[in-house]
Amino acid sequence: MAEEKEMIKISVRSLVEFIMRSGDIDNRTLAGAEKDAMLAGTRLHRKIQKAMGEGYRAEVTLKTILERCDFLLQIEGRADGIIENEDVKIIDEIKTVVRDISLIDRPVKAHLAQAKCYAYIYAIQNKLRNIKVQMTYCQIETEEIKRFVYEFGIKELEEFFEHLILQYEKWAKFQTSWKKIRNHSIQEIQFPFEYRKGQRKIAVSVYRTIQRRKKLFVQAPTGVGKTMATVFPAVKAIGESEGDKIFYLTARTITRTVAENAFSTLRKQQLKLKTITLTAKEKICFCEETNCNPEYCPYAKGHFDRVNDAVFDLITRKDAFDRETIIEQAEKFKVCPFEMALDASIWADAIICDYNYVFDPNAHLKRFFSEGTKGDYLFLIDESHNLVDRGREMYSASLYKEDVLEIKKMISVVHPKLAKSLEECNRQMLVLKKECETYQILESVSHIAIKLMHIMTQLEDVMEKIPEEKREQILEFYFQVRDFLNIYDQLDENYTIYSEMEKDGRFKIKLFCVNPSGKLNEYLMYGNSAIFFSATFLPIQYYKKLLSVENDDYAIYAESSFPEKNRQILLGTDVSTRYTMRDQNMYDKFAKYILKMVNGKKGNYMVFCPSYRLMEEICESVLQRNNKMIECIVQQQYMQEEDRENFLNAFKQKRNKSLLAFCVLGGIFSEGIDLTDDQLIGAVIVGMGLPQVCTERDILRNYFDKHGQNGFDYAYLYPGMNKVLQAAGRVIRTETDKGIILLLDDRFCENRSRAVFPREWKEYKTCRIETCGEYINTFWKRQE
């Protein structure tokens, strides 16, 4: 029986854009704005389509399947409209633009090519000898329309279409042959280690979740081996056609390295899987500044002429596209490493990247997450507790009155019409400012949004007239306005609109996404399954509420693989970080606790404090009592990468005294660092980590109170306790690690705080300064 040929699918738009691109990368135009207009122009599309009358069919799906030796190639798309009169057939392609429509004297080459593909497919299916193509351009603000009409014979269209397919065929052949090699290799791999306690439960649950196309929340203590326990079943699922591409999403660079290592470990079993790690443009750019235009950057000049060759060479030679490999390849072909990496990701089986490449409306990979696309994606979302605040940030937008006024002054001479619009917007905001003492919840800002639409359209004209030294600032303002309007169009019950007078006197209006679950879900819907996992997913219902819209998501709690006897949890009951109790006497109490901890055993310790100021006060009190057997280091604000490395290297050095490292709770050293064995034997956590009272925390509290939840817990307690759990997780990293976690705040003893404690903390002890030393000494004696 003949083997069934694989079907490769590609959209008309993707095919055209991929094959026909050429020339330079140039950030001096607002090409991105044009793309946004195309995506945001649905309303105008419908309006134009409706006005066309009888004989006009809107949103017509067209599809053709071409048979090749080893595969079938399905090319499909949706024509915006088809005019079907008795004597003539016309394919209508509608494009919305933000620039002045009078400046458009011919269709964009790729736009016309897209329409010609639709025309060919329709003509073949309807046995037409000739067909017309109409390019309809509509200005997004004025709604002015300009049309270009062409007539083509079937032979001309056939030659054009076949030429496109011929150029794409080598890529399709590669995709088909590689998939067979990949899937065969996946059948042979086994879990590379002996399963740790709790690890097998995760792996089995992940695979079953993927099979059922559901979401899974995994609470797994540090050291269980979450990365391999999620990567391995996802890879196996791909081999069983349960998915086709893995997105391993992280919030920190260090966890991307862990993911790379997991795939590398599986390759030791001859796994054939192509992986790519995406690096931020600023970190991988060859130039001192990321100024992406051909006059400044030689890699931008002619980039699109060379990039397809660079990508094909890369994917046919290498399997792991890490940062070093991407840089080497980009240098070889003289192309932008960032843009080349994005193109290479299309051909990768697993993409390791930051959250924003999937979820951020401004930075997501449009290759995978744009209207009309759908993939068999498997999302593995590491450190998912971070996604709540990251989601709120991605789906919120602000506009400052002062920025509006500054841009108005900057362009008043070269563009008085725009200056007038900006002044009108400034006055609208001034009215709101006069009504606002601290902050004010607003029912609507529709009048401001309408004015901003006019401003955004006029801004493109300014780019051609403004001096180069001012251009960057105006471009930045343009994107602020665009982001504000994009978010405004998506406002729903998960948003709160408010105005605020900030401490520095600046006045802003913010569209604040209180619950990001709905927006996150819009992107997760592009894939088959999502696995959220974290060492601090407590309480799990809080995270399910804010990260998913489903009521039937799965959740598991993986048991810790660490012996309980290796860890001592102590709760200090006679200290507090409440503002009303902060004085020198309290700082001295904290210092006494810390010194009793250090005196119990020579080694390295970390002290986590809720703020720099409190950290400095406690550190000073410790230093006043310090003997020569303690060395102190202190986290500084705005530490550079070299400073961070030096800070962590201190834990690896041998010394004859104890090391006491003061850090900020929730900062760069309280998450994502591994200090194993005797590099860290204790952590003191001062305070509950509760966020400072501020406007947005008040809004969160009120919102969740109104929606039947405990507002204080959602706005303060749970985010604070997450910082505590993350910091505590620095102590025990392997099965042989031993250490003490000292929690210093009487509020840790409250029921609602202890309700968030992990199961493995059930043997905690309460103590006072007088009894603390005894507990510490007893613990270390048991370890001898």
| CB-CB contact of 610 with 689 (8 Å) | yes
Would you state the pLDDT for residue 16? 94
Would you state the pLDDT for residue 736? 85
* Interval 325-336 mean pLDDT: 97
Would you state the pLDDT for residue 62? 95
* Interval 746-753 mean pLDDT: 96
Nearest to 115 by CA among 88, 79, 83: 79
State pTM to two decimals.
Answer: 0.91
Would you state the pLDDT for residue 373? 67
Higher pLDDT, 95 or 29: 95
Distances (CA, A) of 65 to 121, 160, 172, 174: 10, 17, 13, 18
Report the distance separating Cα 661 and Cα 725, nearest Å. Answer: 18
User: 82: pLDDT confidence band, cut at 50, 70 and 90?
Assistant: very high
pLDDT at 306 over 80: yes
State both tokens at 21: 């691109």
User: 512: pLDDT confidence band, cut at 50, 70 and 90?
Assistant: very high
- Indicate the burial class of 164 (C-beta count within 10 angstroms; 0-12, 13-18, 19 or more): buried
State both tokens at 214: 């559901």
Nearest to 62 by CA among 110, 11, 113: 11
Distances (CA, A) of 148 to 91, 108, 112: 12, 11, 10
3-class DSSP state for residue 661? strand
DSSP secondary structure of 59-70:
EEEEEEEEE-SS
Would you state the pLDDT for residue 33? 47
Q: Please state the separation of Cα 129 from the chain's center in Å.
A: 49
* Interval 380-407 mean pLDDT: 97
Would you state the pLDDT for residue 252? 81
* Interval 474-497 mean pLDDT: 94
Report the distance separating Cα 754 and Cα 564, nearest Å. Answer: 18
| CB-CB contact of 664 with 609 (8 Å) | yes
Cite the beta strand spans of 325-483 per DSSP E.
350-354, 377-382, 397-400, 439-442
pLDDT tens string 626-638? 767 799 999 999 8
Beta carbons within 10 angstroms of residue 770's beta carbon = 10
Report the distance separating Cα 467 and Cα 456, nearest Å. Answer: 19
Percent of the chain's residues with pLDDT above 70: 97
Would you state the pLDDT for residue 30? 52
Beta carbons within 10 angstroms of residue 609's beta carbon = 26
Would you state the pLDDT for residue 85? 85
pLDDT tens string 483-492? 999 999 999 9
State both tokens at 496: 């709160």
pLDDT at 472 over 90: no
Strand duo 765-767 + 567-572: pairing: parallel
User: 522: pLDDT confidence band, cut at 50, 70 and 90?
Assistant: very high
pLDDT tens string 180-224? 999 999 999 999 999 988 999 999 999 999 999 999 999 998 878
State both tokens at 511: 């569209």
Cβ within 8 Å of residue 166, ≥6 positions away: none
Report the distance separating Cα 276 and Cα 351, nearest Å. Answer: 5
pLDDT at 59 over 80: yes
Would you state the pLDDT for residue 29? 63
User: 70: pLDDT confidence band, cut at 50, 70 and 90?
Assistant: confident
Q: How are strands ordered across the β-sheet holding 630-634? A: 630-634, 658-664, 604-609, 682-686, 739-744, 567-572, 765-767
Report the distance separating Cα 533 and Cα 591, nearest Å. Answer: 36
Would you state the pLDDT for residue 371? 65
Nearest to 447 by CA among 466, 471, 472, 430: 430
Report the distance separating Cα 563 and Cα 519, nearest Å. Answer: 41
* Interval 45-65 mean pLDDT: 87
Percent of the chain's residues with pLDDT above 90: 76
pLDDT at 499 over 60: yes
Would you state the pLDDT for residue 42? 67
- What is the three-state SS of 239-275? HCCCCCEEEEEECCHHHHHHHHHHHHHHHCCCCCCCE
* Interval 560-570 mean pLDDT: 90
What's the full length of the chain, in residues?
784
Would you state the pLDDT for residue 3? 62
Report the distance separating Cα 621 and Cα 662, nearest Å. Answer: 12
pLDDT tens string 717-734? 999 999 999 999 999 888
* Interval 742-768 mean pLDDT: 95
* Interval 600-619 mean pLDDT: 96
Would you state the pLDDT for residue 440? 97
Identify the helix (H) or strand (E) that includes residue 658.
Answer: strand 658-664
* Interval 683-712 mean pLDDT: 96
DSSP secondary structure of 188-223:
H---SSPPPTTHHHHHHHHHHHHHTT-EEEEE--TT
Nearest to 594 by CA among 651, 665, 657, 662: 662
Report the distance separating Cα 690 and Cα 118, nearest Å. Answer: 58
* Interval 675-691 mean pLDDT: 94
Mean pLDDT for the chain overall: 92
Report the distance separating Cα 700 and Cα 325, nearest Å. Answer: 44
Would you state the pLDDT for residue 55? 86
